[in-house]
Structure 1
Amino acid sequence: MSPIEAKEKIQSLTAELKQHNYNYYVLAMPTIADFDFDQKLKQLSELEKQFPDFADPDSPTQKVGGDITKEFVTVKHRWPMLSLGNTYNEQELIDFDQRIRKAIGDNFEYVCELKFDGLSMSLTYENGALARAVTRGDGTQGDEVTTNVRTIHSIPKKLAKGNYPDLFEIRGEVFMHLKAFERLNKERVDNGEVPYANPRNFASGTMKLQDSAEVARRPLDCFLYGLYTEKLLFKTHWESLEAVREWGFHVDDHSRLVKDISGVLEFIKYWDTERHNLSYDIDGIVIKVNNYSQQQELGFTSKSPRWAISYKFKAERVETELLAVTYQVGRTGAVVPVANLKPVLLAGTTVKRATLHNADEITIRLQLHEHDTVYVEKGGEIIPKIISVNLDKRKPDAKPVYYITNCPACNTELLRQEGEAAYYCPNDEGCPPQIVGKMQHFIGRKAMNIDGLGDETIDMLYTKGFIRHISDLYTLKDKRDGLKGLERFGEKSINNMLDGIERSKQQPFEKVLFGMGIRFVGETVAKKLVAHFKTIDKLMSASVEELTAAEEIGGRIAESLFNYLADETHREEIEKLRRAGLQLIAEDKEVTLASEKLSGQNFIISGTFEKYSRDELKDIIEQNGGKILSSISAKLSFLVAGDNMGPSKLEKATKLNIPIISDEELLAMIS
């Protein structure tokens, strides 16, 4: 391939894969099979190695996430992030328009923008590269979350050549699409965690996580809408929106330039209905005077600009009757209450159910009684929520609703651990929803990825008595004759299923551990545990203290894992999986040594680094003959220290007189 052809291919593959990443991670709507994506990614990686000068700095081949931020640095905003005045009625908008006309006359335009329900963010770019990301905070200063923002696929890390200034700030809103929110909230419920109430809370909580690898796993998006520079580049806000879009920023296509207040009201009326068809939440419309000179003439109050205002949509609320409270049992045993309602039309859909979250919601906040008349809202919520009770319509003889004490599926007494909101059923080996749910989780794409098996098939095989445990999947090959008698289960379907089960035996240990469905052991936690303990036997013999010594394993995870592995039934199941041929030992990565300059030296890496992730520094050390230790001791040769390193590690290393070096000093040792 000639250099010109290689450059064109690299550019087309990079653009295509970025779009696929965006579809998959942000929109949660993939348009390509995983295998096809991996093949294209591999092709791009090989081309970049062969023609490194043509590689995009923000290439999909570059790993995103992995840095740990112990605490966020507070940064003062160059330009204050002021809030906008709010209104909920058209008359106040007309009054706003009259004030504008009185101050600057009638010759002006408005820009109408959707008001995204997310987290405000300020991005600073230096020489076309993302240098810093800071939250709104109190408007004067906010938290620097650059490492986390770098994981958002729609935010460019490096701009292509353009006519942008050397230094500028651009502001926008970080948010989560609805389908992604639904999928991730389901995962939280499956893992026994409390679900987020709405996408805004999920986005905000995600941005404050300390592990950027976990942030990268949670799909976020960002619309940019405000450019700030030392020198005025454009005459109008509309021109600046068009320019930043050309620079490569994600700008919402729904904004409109309108001539007067009637255009504003028309825009609001349209989106008050149409917002329900968007893939993300909006809670209103932002109206801005378009011309920058007129904005300066209008000025600011102490809290907000006089040239802009936000119109907030009223949260849609309806009144209906509570028919009953039922309970769902998840695969981890978490029991979730659901309000069954008399059907009512809300935000364009018929609502029959609403979330009740937990016992405190029923007995303390709402103090629900049987057949109460309740107010239901959908503003900012995917699943409708009961806001309050109409006490005037409560029947005099109505009995209070009490949260159940026994599992609705197997009648086992429910437990509630200290510090947790949810009750759960401890009978994980005898409770049908948990058994089926665990097997459905085990076959999933992120776990054992078994082709030819789906949730409905698992449910049928359990109901018909073919499987009762995960390990039973690996005995189905001996029950082929019985399988042939099942409805819609022909020879080809059986072969596909059995082939998929056989191939799953090659899945690595961390996939098996995640697939077991242990409470609080998600995908990331499973990887950390496998990296630390290497084998299932070491994991089963570890104490709670030894488990918490592993990176990012807290007490709650350690206790859940210890109790699970201490159970004799679970140990027998693990032995069956071992005999079936599943991988219960970590794969040893073959390390090709670049040199032996660090041979005989032991290292620990702590803190965050500007140029490298900790995993990358670990690879550099191992590729040059060094070893990584899990804890500080007299055996340690060097502590590689970055920003925000934990004080306890620093204190212990100092007491033991262990040399503390930077990442640059480490690289100097092997150069």
Structure 2
Amino acid sequence: MKWLTTELNRHIFAYHVQDAPTIPDAEYDRLFRELQELEGAHPEAVSVDSPTYRVGAAPIPEFRQVTHTVPMLSLNNGFADEDVENFDRRVREGLGAVQAEYASELKFDGLAISLRYEDGVFVQAATRGDGATGEEVTTNIRTIRAIPLRLHGSAVPKVLEVRGEVLMYKADFARLNARQRDAGQKEFANPRNAAAGSLRQLDSRITAQRSLRFFAYGIGALEGRAMPDSHSALLDWYHELGLPVCAERAVVPGIAGMLAFYRDIGTRRASLPYEIDGVVYKVNRVEDQQQLGFVSRAPRFALAHKFPAEEALTQVQDIEVQVGRTGAITPVARLVPVFVGGVNVMNATLHNEDEVRRKDIRIGDTVIVRRAGDVIPEVVAHVPERRPADAREFVMPASCPVCGSPIVKPEDEAIARCSGGWTHCSAQRKGGLMHFVSRRAIDVEGMGDQLIEQLVDKGVVKTAADLYRLDMERLCALDRMATRSAQNVLDALEKSKQTTLARFIYSLGIRHVGESTAKALAQHFGSIDALLHAATWENGIQLLDVADVGPVVARSIADFLSDDDNRALVAQLREAGMTWKEGAHSMAKPDGALSGKTFVLTGTLPTLSRDEAAAMIETAGGKVSGSVSKKTSYVVAGADAGSKLAKAQELGITLLDEAALVALLETANGVTA
């Protein structure tokens, strides 16, 4: 569950914030379903940062943040007819009805957006962000001609927040890429990435050249007018107001109607002028929607029915290996280029040696390549009848292709690794440095992958400590690095010296140590010296006293921090000026007024994010848990609280809303009114 949480959060960040997806949607959905199943079986172990509580990821810093009046939730996904049948059954049981009526529409492949109108005038636009807080993109949205700057008609409300999708038509995408080629610039991978990248331009004049479109499909805040009595009536009203609404929609009865709509759209998908990846069903009557309510991250009254991932046939020309940050050796299939999902695919991951053997993929094979969600392709299977007589089996190299160190594979692991470590292997060095400067770690703004590649390849930087020895002369000697850019990097490095103990531990890139474990280590030991003392083979048993640290993680920490080179790196970083508050990571107070009290957060709070509320509780010495039990002291419940609230009521646990939580924290911190 910890691994899935860490991986999914990483992919969420790459997809929603960086516009650089790292895995196919189908693989993400599989991992997400696996985590949901595990959390259902082990609710006591649900992590506070589980992506099942979240939608999307945090907004990027270049844009002003906007708190959504009504959270922008995601939708639960269905992949087979059985999923739709189960959804319909739950709806009917929840409503006590024999049959339900559904508004069926398209699931666009673009970027979710919220438009705010006051007295009929467009005043603000924000991206989904993490669901509670998004990025303000008002100026860029104004360039989309399909979006009215003033609503039409007489039934204009005082406040209206319109939810919808910004997207790019296929023809506009082709013209954009033609212009990019003519200008010698990088082409976009697909319409979704082009739309997202265009909307996130700091210069709105660039956005204006990108031919973006918009379809409205939902609602946030509404004041000064009664809510339409059905979803179909809402979209009809939007049309009257002059808002773009997709014509490909219908109100259908029951399971038969939903599946018929899905199959009809599926047959016409390729001929649509825009990309879609499924259809959406919503219980049509608003009163019924309100009765069904929400779970933590999605409405119970809606389901996204996704189409199968797009696939194509091609041939494996070779199988090579790539070296990751922790030395993981990943086989990669080099393919005869094939057009899949709107992109020319030449490489596809094979994950690990066992996966290659399981799928029996050989050099020369004709294979099925799946490219789901416009991201990294994968080899699904080979076609046995097309296997040539001279097809060659993949052989895992004995030594690292980058540094020549032996490749080892522990008996209890599926992944083989380069044994050279970051001190000998430049691939691991690059990966480690990229992790060190990442936003969740030390957060050196402006130091991207290409800059780190140059610094390592030219021998300028070997360790993270070397980053703090960079100067203007060395930076300006690099390709495409002008004085201003160099100064920005130096300023960001200087700023990054002030961090927290948890971030510092996480930035070291210790295998199996994610943000949550780094935070637990910082809170338990309070100082880096105490951690270094504990993380030796003589004292390593102390690591097992840390919450959530088991034998495997403890061994990994001890291996890393017992290594002389790694201990030297920690010392060099401290000598370079990196500082944090010792003894009180993130201002946590183990002996604070709330010491010994356990809190559970559920639902959406009016102004505080989960991370903010958790940090405030931990500041006062409290502990935040992901599940409700008899040991829980308080449950903090916001809007759309789900089963945790019900369990708290059943166990008689004290309930707090945001105001009560803030009052409790003020009392705990010695603040009086």
TM (norm. structure 2) is 0.52
Q: Is the 8 A contact 2:586 2:615 kept in 1?
A: no
Q: Is the 8 A contact 2:408 2:418 kept in 1?
A: yes
Partner residue of 1:334 out of 307, 328, 332? 328
Partner residue of 2:132 out of 153, 158, 169? 153
Counterpart residue number, 1:396? 389
Residue 607 of structure 1 deviates from its aligned partner by 6.0
Query: Measured at CA, do residues 79 and 390 of structure 1 come closer, stay the same or move farther in structure 2, by a change above 3 Å?
Result: closer
Partner residue of 2:404 out of 402, 411, 422? 411
Q: Is the 8 A contact 1:341 1:353 kept in 2?
A: yes
Counterparts of 1:592 and 1:519 in 2: how far apart (Å)?
25
Counterparts of 2:87 and 2:477 in 1: how far apart (Å)?
69
Counterpart residue number, 2:361? 368
Matches within 5 A, 1:524-539: 524-539=516-531
1:549-584 Cα deviation digits (max 9, x unpaired): 333334433322221101011111111111111125
Query: Measured at CA, do residues 234 and 498 of structure 1 come closer, stay the same or move farther in structure 2, by a change above 3 Å?
Result: closer
Secondary structure at the counterpart of residue 34 of structure 1: coil
Query: Measured at CA, do residues 79 and 585 of structure 1 come closer, stay the same or move farther in structure 2, by a change above 3 Å?
Result: same
Counterparts of 1:570 and 1:329 in 2: how far apart (Å)?
20
Partner residue of 1:522 out of 514, 526, 530? 514
Q: 2:26 aligned with 1:34, yes or no?
A: no
Q: Is the 8 A contact 1:374 1:389 kept in 2?
A: yes
Partner residue of 2:460 out of 447, 452, 466? 466
Partner residue of 2:277 out of 256, 264, 282? 282
Counterparts of 1:415 and 1:560 in 2: how far apart (Å)?
16
Counterparts of 1:59 and 1:380 in 2: how far apart (Å)?
24
TM (norm. structure 1) is 0.52
Residue 420 of structure 1 deviates from its aligned partner by 3.8
Q: 2:547 aligned with 1:551, yes or no?
A: yes
Counterpart residue number, 1:272? 270
Amino acid in structure 1 at the alignment position of 2:561: L
Residue 291 of structure 1 deviates from its aligned partner by 10
Residue 81 of structure 1 deviates from its aligned partner by 4.3
Q: 2:497 aligned with 1:505, yes or no?
A: yes
Amino acid in structure 1 at the alignment position of 2:356: I
Query: Measured at CA, do residues 379 and 481 of structure 1 come closer, stay the same or move farther in structure 2, by a change above 3 Å?
Result: closer
Matches within 5 A, 1:69-468: 80-81=90-91, 112-114=104-106, 152-153=131-132, 238-239=232-233, 254=246, 256-257=248-249, 267-274=265-272, 278=275, 282-283=277-278, 285=279, 315-364=309-358, 366-379=359-372, 382-417=375-410, 419-428=412-421, 429-451=423-445, 453-468=447-462
Over the aligned positions, Cα root-mean-square deviation in angstroms equals 5.8
Residue 430 of structure 1 deviates from its aligned partner by 0.7
Residue 512 of structure 1 deviates from its aligned partner by 2.4
Counterpart residue number, 1:572? 568
1:273-294 Cα deviation digits (max 9, x unpaired): 559x54xx724x47899899xx
Amino acid in structure 1 at the alignment position of 2:409: R
Counterparts of 1:31 and 1:640 in 2: how far apart (Å)?
28
1:521-544 Cα deviation digits (max 9, x unpaired): 233332332222221111112254
Counterparts of 1:464 and 1:578 in 2: how far apart (Å)?
25
Q: Structure 2 unaligned runs (5+)?
A: 1-11, 20-56, 73-85, 94-100, 110-128, 135-216, 220-226, 287-301, 625-629, 637-651
Amino acid in structure 2 at the alignment position of 1:424: R
Query: Measured at CA, do residues 488 and 268 of structure 1 come closer, stay the same or move farther in structure 2, by a change above 3 Å?
Result: closer
1:407-439 Cα deviation digits (max 9, x unpaired): 221222223345543222232221111112212
1:430-484 Cα deviation digits (max 9, x unpaired): 111111221222223333333453322222222222221111122234xx65655
Q: Is the 8 A contact 1:114 1:255 kept in 2?
A: no
Counterparts of 2:304 and 2:469 in 1: how far apart (Å)?
62
Identity rate of aligned residues, in percent? 27
Counterparts of 2:272 and 2:487 in 1: how far apart (Å)?
47
Residue 500 of structure 1 deviates from its aligned partner by 3.0
Query: Measured at CA, do residues 351 and 33 of structure 1 come closer, stay the same or move farther in structure 2, by a change above 3 Å?
Result: closer
Q: Is the 8 A contact 1:405 1:414 kept in 2?
A: yes
Residue 264 of structure 1 deviates from its aligned partner by 8.9
Counterparts of 1:339 and 1:599 in 2: how far apart (Å)?
54
Q: Is the 8 A contact 1:536 1:584 kept in 2?
A: no
Residue 27 of structure 1 deviates from its aligned partner by 6.3
Secondary structure at the counterpart of residue 80 of structure 1: helix
Counterparts of 2:420 and 2:547 in 1: how far apart (Å)?
30
Counterparts of 2:346 and 2:429 in 1: how far apart (Å)?
28
Which deviates further from its counterpart, 254-263 or 531-540? Answer: 254-263
Counterparts of 1:513 and 1:589 in 2: how far apart (Å)?
11
1:601-630 Cα deviation digits (max 9, x unpaired): 78412363669989969957976xxx6699
Counterparts of 1:345 and 1:330 in 2: how far apart (Å)?
27
Counterparts of 1:286 and 1:401 in 2: how far apart (Å)?
42
Q: Structure 1 unaligned runs (5+)?
A: 1-21, 45-55, 61-75, 84-108, 118-149, 156-222, 226-232, 293-307, 631-637, 645-659
Amino acid in structure 1 at the alignment position of 2:269: W
Q: Is the 8 A contact 1:414 1:425 kept in 2?
A: yes
Amino acid in structure 2 at the alignment position of 1:320: T
Counterparts of 2:575 and 2:521 in 1: how far apart (Å)?
22
Partner residue of 1:540 out of 520, 532, 540? 532
Q: Which has the larger radius of gyration?
A: 1
Matches within 5 A, 1:472-483: 472-477=466-471
Residue 504 of structure 1 deviates from its aligned partner by 2.2
Name the count of aligned residue pairs.
441
Query: Measured at CA, do residues 243 and 551 of structure 1 come closer, stay the same or move farther in structure 2, by a change above 3 Å?
Result: farther
Counterparts of 1:492 and 1:600 in 2: how far apart (Å)?
46
Secondary structure at the counterpart of residue 608 of structure 1: strand
Query: Measured at CA, do residues 384 and 520 of structure 1 come closer, stay the same or move farther in structure 2, by a change above 3 Å?
Result: same
Residue 340 of structure 1 deviates from its aligned partner by 0.8
